[in-house]
Structure 1
Amino acid sequence: MLNDNGNIGFEVLFNHATLGILVTDPEGRIVLANPFLLKQFGYAHSELLGEKVEKLIPRRFAERHVQHRHNFSRHPHSRPMGIGFDLYAMRKDGTEFPVEISLGTNETKDGQYVVAFVSDISLRKESENALKELNAALEQKVAERTESLSEMVARLNAQMKEIEIKDKELRNALQKEKELNELKSRFVSMASHEFRTPLSTVLSSIFLISKYESTDEQPKREKHIQRIVSSVNMLTDILNDFLSVGKIEEGKIQVRLSEFNVENHVSAIVHEITELRKKKQDFDYQHTGDPMLYLDPGLLKHIILNLLSNAIKFSPEYAIIKIWTENRPGRFMIGVRDTGIGISKEDQQHLFERFFRGANVSEIQGTGLGLHIVSKYAELMNGEVTCESEENKGTTFIVSFKTEQPI
C-alpha cells in the first residue's frame, strides 16, 4: 500500500508524465489512461474506460494482439513489447503512428494488472526514413559515380590496349626492320664471299674456252662450259635462298592448296635435280599410300629440292640417296636419307636457324638458309621437320604434314 505521500507522488507522475501511460485489468480492459496518452490518441477518458486495449491497435493487428496478450498474462515480466518489429497504434480518427511500448505488471488482490508505457516515435521514424532516403540517394550517387568511373576506366583500358597493340605493332615492325637490315647485311657479307668462287670459275672458264680453238679440243670446251653452268646454278641457288627468306620475313608467302599426284610430282623433282649429282651418286625413291595429295605443290617442291641439294652436297661420290613418301588419311610424310658427313648433336640444336652452318661444313659452299627455309615452308603447311644424324654416318630428314581432304 502506498502512503499519502506515495499516492501524491504517483498522481503527479501519472498526470504530468510526457509519455502515455495505460493500465489494463486481467481481461485486457482499460482502467486508467493518463492525460498525455489521451491527447496522443484523441480520446476522452470516459471513451476509453472499460474498453479493450485492442481499441488502440490497428484493426489488422488487433486479432493477433489478443493472443499476444494472453501469452503475456501466462508468463508476465517487465520487457519492451514487439522486440525486432515495427509497432503501430491507432488514434480515434483512424490514423496510425509508430510507437514503442514497454510493459510492466502489478499484482493486486483483484488480479494482475498490466502497465503500458507508450512513446510516439513518429519524429524518430521520420528521421530514420529521411536518413534511409539520404543513404539511398548517396548510394545511388555512389553507384552512378562508380558506373561513370568504371566507364572511364574501361575507356582508359581500351585506349591502353590500343596503345599496347600499336606499341607491339611498332616494336614488331622495328624488329622486322632490324631483321631485314641484318639479313641485308648478312647477304652483302656472304654474297661477297660466296659469289667470289663461282664468278672466278666463270671468268677463268670463259678465258680458257677462248684458247681452245681446234675441233679436237671440244671436250675441254665442254668441261669448262659445264663448270660455268654449275657456277651459274650455284649463284641462282644463293639468290633464291635470299629471296625466299626475304619473302618469309615479310609474310609474303601464300599457301595455295591443290590436289595432285604426289608420286609423279616427286619423281619429276628427282629427275630435275639429277644433273647436280656428284660422280656415280644415285637416287632411290619409293612411295606408299594414296598417290593423290592435297597440299601446296610449289612449296613442297622447294622443300624437296633443298633437302636433296643438301644430300648431294654432303654425301660422297657413289652414294645412294634415299627418298620416300607416305600418304595416309590425315598425314603425309617425306623422308630424305644420305650417307654423308652427318651433323653433330651440338649443331643439331641450331640446325633451322638462319645462316647457321655446321662446324664440319666449312669447306662446302652454302648460305646456311636452306634448312631455315624448309622449316618455315613446313610450318606454313601445318607441318614440322625432324632430323636424325650421326657424324660420318649420314643424316635423315623427315617432314610430316597434317593433311585435309579437298573441299
Structure 2
Amino acid sequence: MEMHRESTDQAAKAKFKADNSKFNMIVDSVPNGLIVVDLHGEILLCNAEMEKMFGYEKGELVGQSLEVLVPREARASHVGLRGGFFEHPSKRQMGAGRDLRGVKKDGSEIPVEIGLNPLATEDGNYVVASVVDITERKKTDQMLVKAYEEVQQKNLEMEQFVYTVSHDLKAPLVTSSSYISFLREDLQAGRYTELMDSLERVEKANKKMHELIYDLLQLSRTSRMELRVTSVSLTQILTEMKKDLGSQLEEKKAELLIPDNLPVVQGDAKRLVQVFENLIINALKYAATSEHNIIEIVQKENESDWHVGVKDNGPGIPVQYHKKIFALFQRLDNQKEGTGVGLAIVSRIMGLHGGRAWVESEPKHGATFWVCFPKNPNFPKETHDGIH
C-alpha cells in the first residue's frame, strides 16, 4: 500500500513539472523569488531570481527540502508550521510582525518577506511562495531610525541649551547685578572690608559666565569641525599634557601615570589633546579627593580597535549615571567647578573619529573613562588629511 502511494506521489510530481513547463518560463521572468512546494516540503519548481537570491545554480534547488532555506534553529518548528498551512491553506503573509531570515547556499542569512498562496490541482495541493530580499530596505530603515534618533538628540540638546542660556547664564548675571548694588552702598558708606567681599563675588560670577560661554563655543565648534588627520602618538601628546597640567596635578596631590607604549592612531592631534585634557581635568575635579590621587592611562586592544582609558582612584560613579554624564550640561556634583560640557565634547570628538566614549565604574572603586580608536577609521568626507 505504501509503495503504491509513493509511486502515485512520484507520478503526480512528474506530471506537475511536465504540465507546468510554460508556467516555469513565465515565473523565471518575475523579479521576486518564486518556489512551488508540495505537502512533504519538496521544492518542485524554482525561478531564476530565487536561485540567484540564495546563491544556487540553475535547477539546483529543485528536489531539495524547503527547510534547506530555513535557519537551522527554526527548521524543526518550520516542519510543523508547513503542515499546519496545508491543513488550513489560505493566502497570507508569513511571519507577520516578526523578522524572517533565509539561509543562502554559503550559510549566510538574509532578511526576507514571504507571501504564501495555496495552489490546488487535480493532482494534489501545493503552495506557491513569493520571496523578497529586504536587505536594502532594512539598511534604509536602520538609517532612518538612526537619523530620527539623532534629530531627537539634537532637539533634546537644544532644549538643554535654551535652559542653560535662560538659567545658567542668567544666574551669574543676577549675582553680579546684586553685588554691584552692594558695592555701590559699601563704597558710599566707606565699608571697605565688605567692599572687597562683594568685589570677589562679582569676579567669581563673571568667571563662571566666561567659562560657560567658552564651553558652549567649544561645543558648537565640534558640530562643524573639520579634522586634520595625521598619525598621532598618544604617548607623546599625553607626556606633553602632563607638563602643562603640572600645577593642577600638584595642587590636587595627584600623580599621572603614562605608559610609553600607547598606540599611534589616526586623528586630529589638537582635538585628541582636547579629549584627554577634558578627561584628566574631569578626574582632578571629581575623583581627586584623597591625600594620594592616582590618575593612570590604561589601554586594551582587540582585532579592530584600541581602547585607551583614564583611570582614577576616586569615589566612583553609580551605574545609573554612566550614560547621563556624557549628555550636555550634566554634572553629578553641582558643588564642583565646571559647566557639564566637557564629557559631551569628548563624546562628540570621538564620534568624529569613528569611535566612542564611555565609562566603567562602581562606587568606591574609582572610574575609568574609555575612548575607542578604530584601527581603520572612517572619517567624515569634510576631513582634511594633514599630511602633505
The TM-score with structure 1 as length reference comes to 0.46
The normalised TM-score by structure 2 is 0.48
Larger Rg: 1
Higher relative contact order structure (alpha carbons within 8 Å, sequence separation ≥ 6): 2
Higher percent of residues as helix: 1
